[in-house]
Structure 1
């Protein structure tokens, strides 16, 4: 996955204190923006969509 992007909430002062995500049709990957060469978590796209929906409801 090459299309990594940071949260739109990352400002100039805390731009390195967030996660980045990349997605394909079937998977979503998450990594630490401070150390992008380390481990990456991947999730099935439907499971990640459910996770985001749950966050929006709370």
Structure 2
């Protein structure tokens, strides 16, 4: 390969990772500080919809081999 081709490839790689890093900083740091990230307003882990297992999952007969 010619050195000019290698230089172009190098700068493409550098700019790609610069865009990835800038996107990460934008989404995870800037928007979170502004309160625009929806993850801070998520429902708790145990909600009314999926909080308890159904009766067949609670029965001890399932565990008996």
TM-score normalised over the length of structure 1: 0.25
Between Structure 1 and Structure 2, the one with more helix by share is 2
Between Structure 1 and Structure 2, the one with more strand by share is 1
**Greater RCO structure (CA 8 Å; 6+ sep):** 1
Q: Which has the larger radius of gyration?
A: 2
